Every structure is written in structure tokens, then in C-alpha cells.
Amino acid sequence: MILLMMLMGFGLFKGSYLYMKLDANISKISLIRTMNDGQIYKPQELGFDFAFGVSSELDPSIGHFTVKQIGHYETDQFDINGKKVMTKIERNLRLDKCHDKHFNFTDQKEVMLKGISNYLCAIDDDYQLQGYFYQQNFEFVEIKLWKCRNSTESTVICRDKQKIDEYFEKETFNFAYINTYFDFMDYDKDSFIKKYIDDSFLFELEAEKIKKLNFYIQLQEAETQDSYVQFGQIESYKFHQISNERTYDDGYSDSEGYIAVVYIRFDMKYDLYSRKIYSLLEYLGDMGGLYRSLLSVGLIIVGQIIRRMFFSDIMHKIYQIRTKSIRDDEDSKIDKKESKNKKSQEKYDLTQEEINVKNIENRKSQFKQTLK
Ligand SMILES: *[C@@H]1O[C@H](CO)[C@@H](O)[C@H](O)[C@H]1NC(C)=O
Ligand SMILES: *[C@@H]1O[C@H](CO)[C@@H](O)[C@H](O)[C@H]1NC(C)=O
Ligand SMILES: *[C@@H]1O[C@H](CO)[C@@H](O)[C@H](O)[C@H]1NC(C)=O
């Protein structure tokens, strides 16, 4: 009965785990992508987007932003040092204020509230990332903030240099982007990779420094086994995530002309997340295991009980036989004399013991004699 209740309790307990998917195994392994295969990564297709700006709209007579798709490609020619000649290709991406449509995030209200709708967004969405610096093909996106410079090429007449510097000294460069995380408690296919706006990144600008940010986008992988009945079927997902950012400062020079730069690059590192829930088969296995062990415990207990019952039965019978035989011997005597009977029995036992002791002493002396 108790065993049955234990079994039921365990069954309910584990059953609730099974049903609520509480006992999932979760792991995250960090890996490195070799990138020799020239894999091209378009994070915007996975929901990545970015926006940037200074606190208010930037007047062209003070400075301006550019966003470029840049590619370095190895050619077949060699230079005088025997190194392969690289060609560099640049393409400007058009920019516009994000408003409520260019920053690709589902909740545009939040975009408004965070002030991102006033930032700039790239409206050409065909950028891509590939490789890293020492590879044949290296593609990345570059965002630059330039100081205004008088030039014959543009009609913009800049403000005084001093005014421009004063302006930037007080300003921050803000960079917002869409980041993700794996929500382990969420089992809905469409939403367990959660997106959020990461606007934690900003530079305090300085007129005589270049603030640089290397911004690495990971291509993450996830494998889930979320169904109750598992025969090893795995569902795979890919999503983007940003966990690596590196900043550094450089001295500003007028020949370069920019005071902030962000390089958006393909991260070599990535993580493989996996989640496997407690499944029906494991549940049955656990129940079966418990059932068997309870059964064997039960058998032992029952065996003990049976043995005890058996012995007490035998003892009982022996006692009965004895008393019976004593009675048979002296059936003429009355109950009073039974006590005497017991005493004589005791005496008999005692004499028996004395005999034993004597026997031992005899043996001892014999032993001593043999020793001599
Ligand atoms: C917006 O993000 C979704 C994924 O969340 C993606 O499928 C879509 O291509 C993106 N749109 C643009 C214009 O990048
Ligand atoms: C640009 O030209 C204007 C007018 O010629 C001048 O006042 C201003 O100081 C110049 N600015 C810079 C940064 O050279
Ligand atoms: C979780 O992992 C442990 C150790 O690898 C394993 O014994 C257990 O069966 C796993 N549980 C599930 C639900 O897969």
C-alpha cells in the first residue's frame, strides 16, 4: 500500500515535470568558426538592425555621418614584397531618419520612446559581412562621424573650427542595435529567441580623438528537442547575437577628418545552445525503474515478514509440543506441581552445564599433560 502510494507520488511529481517541461537539460558551448569557406552573413535577415546619432539632429555645417559597405579582396597579382595585392571596394549605404519604419523592430512604440526614431538608419539593406582581416575576402560595414570640412566638392559652408570642436566636446555618439537572447523557459518556436533593443552603447565624443568600436555580430546556433516523444529528432535554429565589442581611442588628425567610427564585423566566435526536455520515454523509464526497485524492496520486506511469521509459528509449535510431552509424562499430577516441574527442568539444565564445565577442565588437564 505504502509502496503503491510512493509510486503514485513519484509518478505525479515527475509527470508534472514532464508536462511543464521543467527538467530540461540546457547547455551552451562556445566555438570558433574557421570561415575558410567564405561564408557570407547577412544579419539583417535574422532581424538585426542598427541606428545611430548624436543627441540632436546633426547640422551639416558641423559634421555628418556615412555608412559604407567595405570589401577587401585578394587579387591574383603580387606586389614587390611578394604579398598578394588587395583591392578595396567601397559603397555608400543611403541613410535616413529611422522614424517609425526603418528600424526593424516589432514594437515601434519602444523605438519612439527610446528616441531611436530620431537617429539615422541605413535604408539600403543589402549589406553583408564576411571573413576577417587576414582572409581572401573581408567584408564589413563602417559607420563614420566626420567633422565638417570646407571643400570644393560640396556646397556646404562649415562653421568655424572652434565652434565645431566645442559642439563635439559636449556631444555623445549613440549606437542602438537589436540584440537577442535565448529564453530557455519559452517553448514557443516563434518566440524563444527574444529580441530587444540594446541602446547601452555610447561614446563621449572628444574633438581631438577618434573613438573606435569594433562591433562583432555572432551567428548563433540553437538545437532543441522540445517534443514529448523524442527519438532524437532535433530542430535547429540560427540567430544573431552580440556579445563582443571592443573600443579604443586614437589621436584625431585633420587629414583623416572623422572622430568616431564603428566597424560592424562577422564574429568568428559563436555559441551552440541546446535544450532537451524531459521526455515521455524517459518518464516511462524512470517510472519502470522505480517500480522495479520498489518491487524488490517490497519483496525483501515481505520476505522478512514471512520469515518472522514462519519462525514464530515454529516456536509456537515447539513450545506446544514440549508442554504437551511434559503433560503426557506427568498427566496424573495437578497444576500446582508444574512449577516444581519447571524447577527440576532448570536443575537439569544446570547439571548439564556443570558437566560441560567439567568436560572442559578435563580437556585442559589432558592438554597440559600432553604438553609435558
Ligand atoms: C526584419 O526582420 C525580420 C526578422 O525579424 C526579417 O525577416 C526581415 O527580412 C527584416 N526586414 C528587413 C527590411 O531587413
Ligand atoms: C569654412 O569656411 C567658412 C567661410 O569661408 C569659414 O568661416 C570657416 O571657418 C571654415 N571652416 C573650416 C572648418 O575650415
Ligand atoms: C540531462 O543530462 C544528464 C547528464 O548528462 C542525463 O543523465 C539526464 O538524463 C538528462 N536529462 C534529460 C531530460 O535529458
Picking from 133, 248, 116, the residue whose alpha carbon sits closest to that of residue 174 is 116
pLDDT average, residue stretch 337-364: 54
278 in ligand 3 pocket by Cβ < 6 Å?
A: yes
Which position has the higher pLDDT, 240 or 322? 240
83-131: pLDDT as tens digits: 888 899 999 999 999 999 999 999 999 999 999 999 999 999 899 999 9
Nearest-angstrom CA–CA distance, 74 and 76: 7
Mean pLDDT of the chain: 84
Q: Is the CB of 150 under 6 A from ligand 2?
A: yes
Distance 358 CA to ligand 1 centre (A): 106
List pLDDT tens digits, range 134-155.
888 999 999 999 999 998 888 8
Residue nearest ligand 1's atom 5 by CA? 47
Most informative mutation of 25, 227, 233 for ligand 3 (most atoms within 8 A of CB): 25
Q: Does the beta carbon of 25 sit less than 6 angstroms from any atom of ligand 3? A: yes
Q: Using the predicted structure, report yes or no on whether residue 50 has a pLDDT greater than 60.
A: yes
| DSSP codes, 183-229 | -TT---TTTSEEEEEEEEEEEE--TTEEEEEEEEEEEEEEEEE-SSS
- Residue with the smallest CA separation from ligand 3 atom 1 is 25
Confidence of residue 45 (pLDDT cuts 50, 70, 90): very high
Closest alpha carbon to 210 in 267, 258, 153: 258
Query: E-assigned strands of the chain?
Result: 25-32, 40-41, 50-53, 63-78, 84-92, 95-97, 120-122, 129-130, 137-147, 172-182, 193-204, 209-225, 235-251, 258-266, 269-276
Distance 214 CA to ligand 1 centre (A): 23
In this structure, of 24-33, 139-148, 209-218, 347-356, the range with the lowest mean pLDDT score is 347-356
Q: Find the 45 Cα to ligand 1 centroid distance in Å.
A: 5
Cβ of 59 less than 6 Å from ligand 3: no
Name the residue with higher pLDDT: 37 or 263. Answer: 263
Nearest C-alpha to atom 10 of ligand 3 is from which residue?
25
Q: Is the pLDDT of residue 20 over 60?
A: yes
Closest listed ligand to the CA of 149: 2
